[in-house]
Amino acid sequence: MTWLMQVLHVASTAELAWVIFGLSAQLMFTARFMVQWIASERAKSSVMPVAFWYFSLSGGVMLLAYALYRKDPVFILGQMLGVVIYSRNLWLIHASRRR
């Protein structure tokens, strides 16, 4: 565990947990691009599957939590806007399906 803390430049297990959480959040964003890319390749056209927005929202909320922990105002503002946009897209998708 000590070697991992050294590699990630953290001084406590709490910081280690937050860095692992932040890395998991970043993986959510990677997953959304993979989902979008695979869907587009299969369709032979640019496609934005609903899963893209769920991964975006999950990653955005997680990164916002991480930014709040780090008290980084630039990161916080950037993630807050993204969370609003991802939520709105999911709202519009589900509203159109209800009609």
Quote the pTM value. Answer: 0.84
- Cα 84 from chain centroid? 13
pLDDT at position 92, please? 95
pLDDT at position 61, please? 96
* Distance (Å, whole) CA 40 – CA 34: 10
Helix, coil or strand: residue 9: coil
Domain ranges for the chain: 24-98
85-95 per-position pLDDT tens digit? 999 999 999 99
Identify the helix (H) or strand (E) that includes residue 94: helix 73-98
Of 39, 30, 28, 36, nearest to 52 by C-alpha is 36
Return the half-sphere exposure (C-beta side, CA atoms, 13 A cut-off) of residue 37: 6
Between helix 13-43 and helix 50-70 the angle, nearest 10°, is: 160
**Is 78:63 a contact under the CB 8 Å cutoff?**
no
pLDDT at position 18, please? 92
pLDDT at position 1, please? 76
Tens of pLDDT, residue by residue, the chain (99 residues): 789 989 988 999 999 999 999 999 999 989 998 999 999 999 999 999 999 999 999 999 999 999 999 999 999 999 999 999 999 999 999 999 998
70 exposed, middle or buried (CB, 10 Å; 0-12, 13-18, 19+)?
middle
